[in-house]
Amino acid sequence: MKILVPVKRVVDYNVKVRAKSDGSGIDLANVKMSLNPFDEIAVEEAVRLKEAGKCDEIIVVTIGPEKAQEQLRTAMAIGADRGILVKTDTPIDLGGVEPLAVAKTLKAIVENEKPDLVIMGKQSIDDDSNQTGQMLSALLGWAQATFASEIKLDGDSATVTREIDGGLETIKIALPGIITTDLRLNEPRYASLPNIMKAKKKQLDIMDPSDFGVSYDPKVKILNVSEPPARTGGGKVSSVDELIDKLKNEAKVIS
Amino acid sequence: MKILVIAEHHGTELATNTLNVVAAAKKFGGDIDLLLAGSNLSDVAAQAAKIDGISKVKTAESADYDHHLAESMAALIVPMAADYDILLAPSSTFGKNITPRIAALLDVQQISDIISVESNDTFTRPVYGGQAIAKVQTSDSKLVITVRPTGFDPVNAEGGSAAIESVSGGAPDAKSEFVSLKEAESDRPELTSANIVVSGGRGVGSAENFKMIEALADKLGAAVGASRAAVDAGYVPNDWQVGQTGKIVAPQLYIAIGISGAIQHLAGMKDSKYIVAINKDEEAPIFQVADYGLVADLFDTVPELTEKI
Ligand SMILES: Cc1cc2nc3c(=O)[nH]c(=O)nc-3n(C[C@H](O)[C@H](O)[C@H](O)COP(=O)(O)OP(=O)(O)OC[C@H]3O[C@@H](n4cnc5c(N)ncnc54)[C@H](O)[C@@H]3O)c2cc1C
């Protein structure tokens, strides 16, 4: 079995970001960038399947700038076998390469690579759209299992437990198919130094969006990016009695 | 302008977020139809027909749609989309799962999680875990949108008298089947629409201790929430998680207990009207958004609060 794992370079989840003062986007100058956390979980899952003897090859692919090679190397240090960068200078966080365009690019790559399974993050923590996996499966006419917290492969199907608002749902999808990951699927390992060194030598191909005939001109224009309305927090109370008094008589939210 | 609201329902209950999605639909101005899919729809259809502002309730009555699998729902909705300019669904796991599949088949770039309608092609939506708000304008002629329920005040559940009409749809393009559902059962109010939410974090320490949080919630008639750390540690089920990847809540009162206030948690609750934080670390970032912060040990304060409130 061959598994394709699409990944994205995003701002590190610990970073507090700011909108640029001209409202054109998020200020990413000198900000730490990482592998999107959900994608890291997707890579880890593929590596575990390989370690369990259920997968022969893991290919990671990303669409992004030259520097997105760093995230491919991170994924290869976790255990992916080779990487593909579809190189573009169009922004990938907001107002640039959109989920539909990503899905179209990935469709072309799937047609080239013919994986049996695609595992990818359910959302990227920059644009928060939560669309690409579903779109890719639609374009391919494959089945989808989103928000996975458990995956069991059996032959030509996968049984997937999904985290949904009402609890945990289990579905079975035919393969080839698409699975998107939720946080509790696994806890990604830290790559060891030898594996980081090894990853540097793994195959990494660079491709051009024109190879796939997909346009990265956005359909949705960003008119403005601003800070959310600030909360005036910081109020303190010194006892439970004072808290109850405030909730009853000031906020009037309890009676 | 013709609008279709893809409504979420659970058996015979219409999801409360339907009223918020209809509120968003009303901002466009135009005819609003509402779609229900599944078996035994007569009860939900009757509820939906009463919602203020609906022209027609369309029911796709078939066991094929029972679990709202994305493949079946897309097979139903994509052909219907020819008659509509705008498709709207809640940005719950129900909506998020289905709408991108529909959008891709229509070659539309979906807009996720809108919190306002500025005009018929311009919307605002939170990005970067709510750390910024983007105002976006689409050039697509057909729109597929998910609506963040907390962004729109619900319309009236009563007062309408829409006609109910049955529809049928195509066969799914790919194979998936429902196996089982481990449903969260609770007599408490639903997390995303409760007036009061009491949430516990890693500081609570164990599933056993979490009963203390639940006791406070029950005294207040509140829903119970949790941080990711509390869910990951197995204190509580996954569907209690509040945050960027959990549920988005905006109750009148949110009480955060033993929660530090990570960006990803704040993303799910910082639009609450009043926030109370109980944490023994006075440096915890949760205090920066709290109206009433109490620096104290939760094991002392929570039982006292439950007793006195
Ligand atoms: C991609 C991604 C998505 C995420 N999505 C979410 C999400 O949706 N929701 C979410 O919540 N998190 C999410 N997280 C996790 C988030 O970053 C934090 O790790 C998490 O919110 C921390 O939970 P916590 O506040 O309960 O735990 P901690 O940060 O460990 O805080 C525990 C707090 O309890 C206090 N405490 C301990 N003992 C006591 C006591 N006896 N009395 C009083 N106070 C006490 C401590 O002072 C501390 O402030 C996400 C992370 C990532 C990477």
* pLDDT greater than 90 at residue B107: yes
Does B299 map to a domain? Answer: yes
Helix (H) or strand (E) holding A113: helix A99-113
* Cross-chain residue pair A228–B238, CB shorter than 8 Å: no
Residues B129 and B263 both lie in one domain = no
Task: Kindly give the parts of chain A with pLDDT less than 50.
Answer: none
DSSP characters over B175-241? -EEEEEEEE---SSPPGGG-SEEEEE-GGG-SHHHHHHHHHHHHHHT-EEEE-HHHHHTTSS-GGGB
Q: How many domains does chain A have?
A: 1
* pLDDT greater than 90 at residue B87: yes
Q: Whose CA is nearest to atom 11 of ligand 1?
A: B227
Instruction: Look up residue B219 and give its two tokens.
Output: 């005294």
Residues B158 and B284 both lie in one domain = no
3-state secondary structure of A118: strand
pLDDT band, very low/low/confident/very high, at B241 (cuts 50, 70, 90): very high
Q: Whose CA is nearest to atom 49 of ligand 1?
A: B260
The boundaries of the domain holding residue A108 are 2-249
Residues B119 and B13 both lie in one domain = yes
Does B182 map to a domain? Answer: no
- Looking at residue B186, what is its pLDDT? 83
Does B81 map to a domain? Answer: yes
pLDDT band, very low/low/confident/very high, at B183 (cuts 50, 70, 90): confident
- Looking at residue A137, what is its pLDDT? 98
Residues B130 and B8 both lie in one domain = yes
Residues B75 and B133 both lie in one domain = yes
Does B177 map to a domain? Answer: no
* Cross-chain residue pair B181–A247, CB shorter than 8 Å: no
Of B237, B270, B290, which is closest to A167 when you measure between CB atoms?
Answer: B237
Does A254 map to a domain? Answer: no
Dihedral sign for Cα atoms in the order B104, B80, A143, B13: positive
- Looking at residue A26, what is its pLDDT? 97
Q: What percent of chain B has pLDDT over 90?
A: 95
pLDDT band, very low/low/confident/very high, at B11 (cuts 50, 70, 90): confident
Residue B78 CA to residue B70 CA, distance in Å, equals 11
Residues B204 and B262 both lie in one domain = yes
Q: How many domains does chain B have?
A: 2
Q: Chain A residues with CB inside 8 Å of B304's CB?
A: 240
- Looking at residue A255, what is its pLDDT? 87
CB B268 within 8 A of CB B249: yes
Residues B117 and B219 both lie in one domain = no
Does A9 map to a domain? Answer: yes
Report the separation in Å between the CA atom of A106 and the middle of ligand 1, taken as the mean of its atom positions: 35
Does B35 map to a domain? Answer: yes
- Choice between A223 and B12, residue whose per-residue pLDDT is larger: A223
Please count the residue pairs, one from chain A and one from chain B, whose beta carbons lie less than 8 angstroms apart. 272
Strand partners, A179: A119, A145
CA distance A191 to chain B (A): 22
Which residues lie with the beta carbon below 6 Å from any ligand 1 atom?
Answer: A 13, 37, 125, 183; B 201-203, 227-230, 241-246, 258-260, 262, 264-265, 268, 279-281, 284, 297-299
* Cross-chain residue pair A224–B135, CB shorter than 8 Å: yes
Does A255 map to a domain? Answer: no
Residues B65 and B148 both lie in one domain = yes
CA distance A202 to chain B (A): 32
* Cross-chain residue pair A123–B101, CB shorter than 8 Å: no
pLDDT tens track for B43-63: 999 999 999 999 999 999 999
Q: Whose CA is nearest to atom 48 of ligand 1?
A: B260
Domain boundary among the residues B151, B166, B181 is at: B166
Residues B97 and B155 both lie in one domain = yes
| Domain of residue B278, CATH code | 3.40.50.1220
pLDDT tens track for B126-146: 999 999 999 999 999 999 999
What ipTM is given for this predicted complex?
A: 0.96
Of A130, A134, A234, which is closest to B288 when you measure between CB atoms?
Answer: A234
The predicted model scores a pTM of 0.96
Does B181 map to a domain? Answer: no
| Domain of residue A48, CATH code | 3.40.50.620
Does B61 map to a domain? Answer: yes
* pLDDT greater than 90 at residue B163: yes
* Cross-chain residue pair A128–B179, CB shorter than 8 Å: no
pLDDT band, very low/low/confident/very high, at B174 (cuts 50, 70, 90): confident
Does A19 map to a domain? Answer: yes
Q: Whose CA is nearest to atom 27 of ligand 1?
A: B202
Q: How many CB atoms lie within 10 A of CB B107?
A: 12
The boundaries of the domain holding residue B161 are 2-166
* Cross-chain residue pair B69–A228, CB shorter than 8 Å: no
| Domain of residue B159, CATH code | 3.40.50.620
Residues B160 and B214 both lie in one domain = no
Q: What is the mean pLDDT of chain B?
A: 96
Does B184 map to a domain? Answer: no
**Which residues lie closer than 8 Å to A93 by C-beta, 6 or more apart?**
A10, A11, A25, A26, A28, A126, A127
Residues B29 and B139 both lie in one domain = yes
Residues B137 and B216 both lie in one domain = no
Counted residue by residue, chain B has a size of 309
